[in-house]
Amino acid sequence: MQYENAKDILPASLLEEVQKYAEGKAIYIPKRGKTKGWGEASGYRNKLNKRNTAICSRYSAGASVMELSEEFFLSPESIKKIVYGKKIDLPEYSPSLFSAEQYSNAGLGEEWVRIYLSDHNVEVPNNTEFFLSELVKIPLRLIDETDSAADKEYVGSSLDVPLIIMFEQHRFRMLFGGQYLSDLVKEKRNAHHAYIFVSNEEYGFYMNNFGKQFQRHCR
């Protein structure tokens, strides 16, 4: 998403009104008109509901949280939210950390990542080959910056969004948002919020060496 200065877009009178409520802040302005809810047109939301029903059925039949986590390639925390939680209402999406937190707190972090990457025309890793972490805080020093120059689109540090990271061959690299990572490093940030895709082959190594150490960001 491209960052633009409001004074270059809004009439002066309207800008003054906006400044009364959000001066100096980066805000997301949704598109006009009522659109279909996410996943309705593609059928993914129906697929999600069927998956969650299957998880609950398997849990009722005696499958453990860890068994379901490995079977459905979701974190144990996400499995718990599905089997223990009430009916899930899909939160409102925006490309922001606040929205990502809402999705993750509802056990739907995977869905936020899908929407975010799809909006930027970035292919989502196959969930049969990669495990997706909870929303965590990762030390920036662990992320390889060599791929930053090949970033597909500038994200812009004006929007506080999670980083999207791949863990393969025992290293962390950016799947999307490399320029954003460079900006965070220049700002001397020590850590930032992230979703991490981990190849199934390295799941055990990741959990033993990193997964239990990273701070979960969801409240």
Residue 90 placed within a domain: yes
- Average pLDDT score over residue span 176-203: 87
Does the pLDDT of residue 75 top 50, yes or no?
yes
pLDDT, position 197? 93
Does the pLDDT of residue 157 top 60, yes or no?
no
Domain tally, the chain: 1
Does the pLDDT of residue 114 top 70, yes or no?
yes
Task: Report how far residue 3's alpha carbon sits from residue 55's, in angstroms, rounded to the nearest whole number.
Answer: 40
Supply φ then ψ for residue 130, to 5 degrees: -130, 140
Q: What is the mean pLDDT of the chain?
A: 77
pTM, rounded to two decimals:
0.60
Residue 129 placed within a domain: yes
Judge whether 161 and 185 are in contact, CB under 8 Å.
Answer: no
pLDDT, position 162? 92
Residue 187 placed within a domain: yes
Residue 84 placed within a domain: yes
Q: Which amino acid is at 69?
A: S
What percentage of the chain exceeds 70 in pLDDT?
76
Half-sphere exposure of 11 (CA within 13 A, CB side): 2
pLDDT, position 152? 45
Give the pLDDT band of residue 150 (cuts 50, 70, 90). Answer: very low
Residue 49 placed within a domain: yes
- Average pLDDT score over residue span 191-209: 90
pLDDT, position 50? 76
Out of 57-71, 121-135, 162-176, the most confident range is: 162-176
- Average pLDDT score over residue span 85-107: 77
- Average pLDDT score over residue span 67-89: 77
Helix-strand-coil split of the chain, %, nearest 5: 45, 15, 40
- Average pLDDT score over residue span 149-169: 67
Residue 23 placed within a domain: no
Supply φ then ψ for residue 77, to 5 degrees: -65, -40
Residue 209 placed within a domain: yes
What percentage of the chain exceeds 90 in pLDDT?
13
**Residue span of the structural domain in which 126 resides:** 37-216
Q: What is the residue whose two structure tokens read 């899909």? A: 90
- Average pLDDT score over residue span 138-143: 92
* Residue range 14-52, pLDDT digits in tens: 777 777 767 776 676 766 554 444 444 445 567 777 778
Half-sphere exposure of 191 (CA within 13 A, CB side): 12
> Which pair of structure tokens corresponds to residue 38?
């996410």
Give me the DSSP letters along 165-207: EEEETTEEEEEE-HHHHHHHHHTT-SEEEEEEEEEGGGHHHHI
Residue 66 placed within a domain: yes
Does the pLDDT of residue 149 top 70, yes or no?
no
